[in-house]
Structure 1
Amino acid sequence: MNNLVLSLAPKFTKLQVLNLRQDTPQLQDDAIEMISNYCRDLQDLDLSKSFKLTDYSLYALAHGFPNLVRLNISGCSAFSDSALAYLARFCRKLKFLNLCGCVRGATDTALKALGYYCNQLQSVNLGWCEKIGDAGVTSLANGCPNLRALDLCGCVLITDESVIALATNCPHLRSLGLYYCQNITDRAMYSLAQSGVKNKREMWESMRNRYNGEGLVNLNISQCTALTPPAVQAVCDSFPALHTCPGRHSLIISGCLNLTSVHCACAVQAHRTFPAIAHPAH
């Protein structure tokens, strides 16, 4: 694949979308440099599982793609935090960023740079970036108010402070992954439930927005074993789009046996009507 990219890049100068995802890593830095030299209009780039790429590729991307909107470098574990921070300085139009598995590069330093320079970010996947802590997530939340989806699954260092920052600063957040974030407690859940409701006027505005599709529609708190049913039920009650009923699971609580009593409104309604259906009049 590497030689193919080297030969074709100069011929596709108007390319805007490029998927170079590989099952067997072949891409090397010289191919990325070639793309950045000739495909200056690129807006959507997938380099996932490119294990052979080094920081040199990120520096090339930073200088070659000022209009980059979507970047997937999941599994590119060789990138450093300083190179990711450098990328953020130049690719300020990023809206969708997948760093899942970038265990070396996705640190608080990189997130602080993203929060400072990439204010248009809407979706960020940080799954299994175990070095990320509250300082990085808080910086991201403070700098990216349009954030709609954030995956923090496996980010074992984060605490309630990260969730509170998101609840306070990201009113458009619709999807949040907290799988295996075992330092999360009820305090984080209540902050989500109460997000945006500071007075009566804001409460009515919040209710109106939910009818328009605002608010959480997906929440993964699997293996967050410190959570209690009242706190999680409060979140479920605050966001009607969160479901625990069969076929519509968008509030994921697997691995939390103490949360089996948490139910969405339609699940409760189905339970109430079931006896009437199961025992028809003779």
Structure 2
Amino acid sequence: MMWAMSSKFFEDVPYDLLLLCIKHPHLTVDSEKHLSDALLIWLDSNIERLQRSNKTECGFSDILKQIRISLLPLWFAAGKRSSSSFSELANESVDSIFRLTQVTPIGPINALRDGDLSHLRIRLTEYSKRVDLSGCLQITTMILLLSLLPNNHSVGSALRKSIEESISNLEQADGSKYQIPQGLLPTLSFEAVQEVDISGCLKLHLEAAIECFSKSFPSLRKVKAAYLLNFKTTTLYRLVQKCSLVSEVDITVDMDPLISSQVSVISSSSAVISLAQNRPYTVGDSSSVTSLYHLGHSLSNITKLTLEGRSDVCDSDIQYIAKFCVSLCYLNLKGCISLTDVCIANLIRRCTKLHSIVVCHTSFGMNSILALCTASSILSNSPTAQFGKKHLDSLAANLQLLHMGGCKCADEASLQELLSQTQMLKSLCLGDTNLVDDALCNFSGSFLEMLDISNTMISTAALNLVVRTNPGLKCLNARGCKNLFQPENTTKVAKFSSPYTCEELFIELGKTCRLEEIALGWGFSYFSLQGLKPAILSLRAMTVGLGGSLPEDALRLLPTTCPMLESLVLYFQVISDCIIINIMKSLRQLQTLAFCYCLGDISISSFKLSMLNLRKLRLERVTPWLTNNDLVLLTQNFANLVELALLGCKLLNSEAQCIISSGWPGLIAIHLEVCYDLYSRIWTIFLGSSVFF
């Protein structure tokens, strides 16, 4: 069914056939959200066709009643309140979700209802490969257990008692000893399930969930449990113990920590340990990690591990992860600011199969680079290694992805050595580092598809060298590179007899590459855009930052130059009503639109065109005249927004909060700044959302 719903011919399926499919016991979908989206698309398409033929809906909306609205994410259900065909069910769904969130994670089954509980059963069939529960705050261990029972099993009083007994141990403070008794419940085994997403399921007891996964999903390979701060290192260990085939784990936390790029962490363990007792949830619980050593050494099959944003992960956590995750190929430590360079280096030496590393905004520095550039201890008898001696059997030589943006601990010499060995790289992020021309010119790879050198001192000559030798480049971020605009001040590169101009660089890009994403600033102009034309016909995302200058003629031609744009972000550009209206009329597939600190004479007439595909809107310091009435117009024309940023809208008052919450109930992120009266009085909390004020 997932394949059928993604087909462009899905809207042509006859109603009777579709209804039979939805009611079929073997209906296989990843989640109720996917099913709802597909049915709404089908219904909207068929209603239009019926209206053109002067017919009625014939009760087609009844098909929506097949959706198990109690299992929808809250943000999704709230966002559908404005849908003409789904508003009533959306309201019912929100009410049901709120009722479920009032039941404690270990509450008795009778707290829900005494009757039929089929509306709480997650759709699982013998063909299910993926189970997506992300964002469902109301999912508890009890609901998960109910979903694993045979479909024809009625929940009688005896079984209700058994379920309540099986979750009674959750009342313990830490729940670490929780076990579902063997054979207590007649749970089914779904051998086709390979992926589970429980991100944001805050009421789901992790130990109990892992027990269920081990019994009912024997082929489980991927687990995503993002935004769950109580997912500890001990939890990870138990997951790989119970579900031995798991190879990918993602426990990202949605954080934007204050990161000081000038400070390196000398030792993280003691700092984290001292704070552990004051935290309700911690990943870096050193006492728990220490206890793992007594559980016995057990190597896992994990090849991909994502710890992004886990600022409370400390050296002791990583030390143990390095012991039982030696098969790691992909590692994401972005934002793990408590880790030391020495600890990261030791992890790299231990995990000799690594080919993808994401360490942005960490203490990744000279020790870690030395570990990458040194021959593997397994293959080399040398006990020490120094920069200057290349090793074809080093980890660096086999790296395919390296993201180390914001890592100031790596000096120019170590970066130069690192880039001299990474000839197999496909994705390279060096933004906000000490990168200079000599280091970039040392890069000998020819397989790059993504390059980020933002906010570095790179010149046009060095960047041109990389562009010419990497024709497969698809994504380029060179924002904040002032030397691209000042060729007379750039570092002399020995490989060139004369400096390159910006226009020559962009002409080379136009000849060599076919770009999908680009972010430029200094040196980007109308002539640069003309030179880039052949390369950006398929461009999907464009950002023009400080130092870039696209005149009105260039902005007017943008829709014809880049007809497939889905994201457009403009900083410090001169814009007008006619430019914005032209962009909205021509680029109907835009999903992200941002005007930040732009100059020019614009008014509310710029935003009178409806754009139902738009998901993200940022108006930063460009609409100081915006009033509550104007905000109402925005809610009508951009009805499907999930992210909103309004900066400097001083005329908005306290009534704006009601306009925002009722007009965009599905928002998951809000950024309001210098909206004086609104900012001082806002009290509304959007449950299930990431809200920033």
The counterpart of 1:16, out of the listed 221, 224, 228, is 221
Question: Corresponding residue for 1:120?
Answer: 353
- Gaps in structure 1 of 5+ consecutive residues: 197-213, 243-247, 275-282
Question: Corresponding residue for 1:140?
Answer: 372
TM alignment of 1:1-282, pairs within 5 A: 1=202, 4-13=205-214, 14=218, 15-22=220-227, 25-28=229-232, 31-32=235-236, 34-49=238-253, 52-56=282-286, 60=292, 63=297, 66-105=300-339, 107-129=340-362, 131-142=363-374, 143-144=394-395, 145-181=397-433, 183-192=434-443, 195=444, 215-224=447-456, 226-242=457-473, 248=474, 250-260=475-485, 261=502, 262-263=505-506, 265-267=508-510, 271=531
Partner SS, residue 161 of structure 1: helix
CA distance in structure 2 between the partners assigned to 1:40 and 1:240 by the alignment: 41
Q: 1:2 to 1:136 in 2, by over 3 A?
A: farther
Length-normalised TM-score, structure 2: 0.32
Q: 1:54 to 1:115 in 2, by over 3 A?
A: closer
Partner SS, residue 18 of structure 1: strand
CA distance in structure 1 between the partners assigned to 2:240 and 2:428 by the alignment: 33
CA distance in structure 2 between the partners assigned to 1:157 and 1:165 by the alignment: 15
Cα deviation code 1:200-219 (max 9, x no counterpart) = xxxxxxxxxxxxxx522211
Aligned-pair distance for 1:147?
1.0
Cα deviation code 1:208-260 (max 9, x no counterpart) = xxxxxx52221111000x22221222222222223xxxxx5x23211113315
Question: Corresponding residue for 1:202?
Answer: none
CA distance in structure 2 between the partners assigned to 1:185 and 1:19 by the alignment: 38
Aligned-pair distance for 1:17?
1.3
The amino acid that maps onto 1:54 is: G
RMSD in angstroms over aligned alpha carbons?
3.0
Question: Which has the higher Rg, Structure 1 or Structure 2?
Answer: 2
The percentage of counterpart residues that share the same residue type is 25
Aligned-pair distance for 1:36?
4.1
Length-normalised TM-score, structure 1: 0.75
Aligned-pair distance for 1:48?
1.2
Aligned-pair distance for 1:150?
0.7
Aligned-pair distance for 1:158?
1.5
CA distance in structure 1 between the partners assigned to 2:297 and 2:312 by the alignment: 19
Q: Is the 8 A contact 2:407 2:432 kept in 1?
A: yes
Q: Is the 8 A contact 2:509 2:532 kept in 1?
A: no
Q: Is the 8 A contact 1:151 1:177 kept in 2?
A: yes
Cα deviation code 1:104-161 (max 9, x no counterpart) = 12x32123223322121121110111x2212212312434132100111111122233
Aligned-pair distance for 1:266?
4.7
Cα deviation code 1:159-180 (max 9, x no counterpart) = 2333333333332111110111
Aligned-pair distance for 1:92?
1.4
Q: Is the 8 A contact 2:359 2:405 kept in 1?
A: yes
Q: Is the 8 A contact 1:40 1:65 kept in 2?
A: no
* Relative contact order higher in (CA < 8 Å, ≥ 6 apart): 1
**Count, aligned residues:** 244
